[in-house]
Amino acid sequence: MNISNHVITDPDESFRDHFSAVNEDGKRNWFYPQKPTGKWHTRRAWFTVGILTLLFATPFIKFNGQPLLLFNVLERKFIIFGIFIGPQDYWLFGLTMLSFMVFILLFTTIFGRLWCGWACPQTVFMEMVFRKIEYAIEGNATKQKLLNKAPWNTEKIVRKTAKYAAFLIVSFLIANLLLSYVLGVDELSKIIREPIADHIPLFGGIIAFTAIFYFNFAWLRDQACTVVCPYGRLQGVLMDRNTINVAYDYERGEPRGKIHKNQERTEGDCINCHQCVAVCPTGIDIRNGLQMECVNCTACIDACDNIMDKVGFEKGLIRYTSENAIVKKTNKLITPRVIGAMAMLVLLWSVLGFMVVSRTDTQTMLLRAPGSQYIENSDRSITNLYTFKIFNKTNQTINPTIRLEGVSGKLIFAGKPNLALDPAGMVEGTVFIVVPAEALKKRKTTLTLSVFQGNEKLEEFETTFIAPEK
Ligand code: SF4
Ligand code: SF4
């Protein structure tokens, strides 16, 4: 890792003494990365098209009448691949999060920061959307630097206004995208169509998120990855020498040295052209080894491959590889750590799978009223008094009925027997269960009850019924 309090005297190690984003005066280093071009950038561009299409299309995809994904943190309602997770399903949510974390551990141990470079929304939007807008309006890195230094003439005002206006529009779109995952597209479009005065807090939210995204992509930029994001800081513990990363093959590249015409080359393949540094959006030199700031964006691979092509050396001096592959020329992807994480993931997914399959749409608690006894009726039936709570674990309104199974008898609800349940709602009350005495063979009988919605059985549960001793 590049950040260290240790003062290094070896000039080759001096990069460890400072943070690339901060200069010697303690001020921010504003990076102007060269526009990347090459095979990996083209692949990432296509991947970005796919991932943005997915990101913008997903809120419109419905499954069983509800969104495929919803993260309503305000009301603690989540829908993950069509499975509604309400406040009662905290265990399901907790296990999903735990398995997600183990998956990240496993994925990072094998593939390093592949996520950061290819799929993280921060990198995708920053490098493939905002940076592209910047290149289109202000030109490549050198032109951007010149424009920033130039006085405020007409050209500068027009270009800067156009750039920041475009940034603002895209930030507004991203804020709406985020809210479509929180509220769902139906709710969001309803809010947009209705008068602003009816939804002041939500419009305030859209404005606030637009401002946050604008600040992030116009100013914070690489520092969101190097200063704010905790994932980058965990790399040191998540990776090992077998992890695949964007890496410089120092065995092949060193000692580095300029190329000289008509001279036999005695150095390694790195011609010290600094092109890999010039394209880096986080301003680091990949030749210093694995660094926290590297988001694996692949720009340096393309830059170096282009140089290798020009000087007639084999491509791949910077490539996806591991420390062991560079040094020992061999790599082992399946290590004991990977096996351990895989085993844990299989276990967690099995438990999760079982929970999802055995999950019911309602959760009913029916308990005998505290201190109550049985009542013997004149028609030779016995009555017990219960309190009940029914939780709706779906995102739809349901009108459940409760029926006794395997025994004749009836339920008499005290008060209004309307059990209509709002999405993720709860209803509670008291109910009398009346059972003919001849159906009761002992003092304590276990009764089976079912919750139905129409003819569809949603849940089955048991309770105890007390009768006089025979
Ligand atoms: S070192 Fe290379 S892969 Fe890492 S952030 Fe810089 S350009 Fe991207
Ligand atoms: S681009 Fe390649 S050759 Fe040039 S400095 Fe970087 S590693 Fe060396």
Nearest ligand to the C-alpha atom of residue 320: 1
Ligand 1 centre from 301 Cα, in Å?
8
Peptide bond into 255 cis (omega under 30): yes
Q: Whose CA is nearest to atom 1 of ligand 2?
A: 304
Pocket of ligand 2 contains residue 318 by CB under 6 Å: yes
Q: For 38-76, what is each residue's pLDDT tens digit? A: 999 999 999 999 999 999 999 999 987 889 999 998 888
Q: Whose CA is nearest to atom 5 of ligand 1?
A: 294
Question: What does the pLDDT read at residue 16?
Answer: 66
Lowest mean pLDDT of 213-217, 230-234, 388-392, name the range. 230-234
Question: What does the pLDDT read at residue 4?
Answer: 38
Question: What does the pLDDT read at residue 340?
Answer: 93
Mean pLDDT confidence for 193-209: 89
Mean pLDDT confidence for 433-457: 93
Pocket of ligand 2 contains residue 451 by CB under 6 Å: no
**Position 437: which residue type?**
A
Q: For 144-188, what is each residue's pLDDT tens digit? A: 999 999 999 999 999 999 999 999 999 999 999 999 999 999 888
Question: What does the pLDDT read at residue 36?
Answer: 94
The pLDDT confidence band at residue 12, using thresholds 50, 70 and 90, is low
Q: Whose CA is nearest to atom 7 of ligand 1?
A: 280
Pocket of ligand 1 contains residue 395 by CB under 6 Å: no
Which atom of ligand 2 sits closest to the CA of residue 277?
Answer: 6
Pick the more confident residue, 196 or 32.
Answer: 32
Place of tokens 């013997």: 376
Pocket of ligand 1 contains residue 294 by CB under 6 Å: yes
Q: pTM of the entire structure?
A: 0.84
Question: What does the pLDDT read at residue 7?
Answer: 39
Rounded to 5°, angle at Cα 121 from 120 and 122: 90
Q: Whose CA is nearest to atom 8 of ligand 1?
A: 297
As a whole number of angstroms, the distance between CA 179 and CA 206 comes to 8
The answer to whether the CB of 342 falls within 8 A of the CB of 429 is no
The pLDDT confidence band at residue 83, using thresholds 50, 70 and 90, is confident
**Both structure tokens of 223:** 């520092």
Is the pLDDT assigned to residue 3 strictly greater than 50?
no
Q: For 374-420, what is each residue's pLDDT tens digit? A: 999 999 999 999 999 999 988 889 999 999 998 989 999 988 667 88
Pocket of ligand 1 contains residue 270 by CB under 6 Å: no
Lowest mean pLDDT of 232-236, 241-245, 273-277, name the range. 232-236
Question: What does the pLDDT read at residue 13?
Answer: 64
Pick the more confident residue, 200 or 132.
Answer: 132
User: Which residue of 284, 288, 317, 318 sits with most ligand 1 atoms within 8 Å of its CB, as the best mutation to test the pocket?
Assistant: 284
Question: What does the pLDDT read at residue 15?
Answer: 66
Rounded to 5°, angle at Cα 444 from 438 and 447: 75
Which atom of ligand 1 sits closest to the CA of residue 318?
Answer: 2
Pocket of ligand 1 contains residue 297 by CB under 6 Å: yes
Nearest ligand to the C-alpha atom of residue 117: 1
Nearest ligand to the C-alpha atom of residue 294: 1
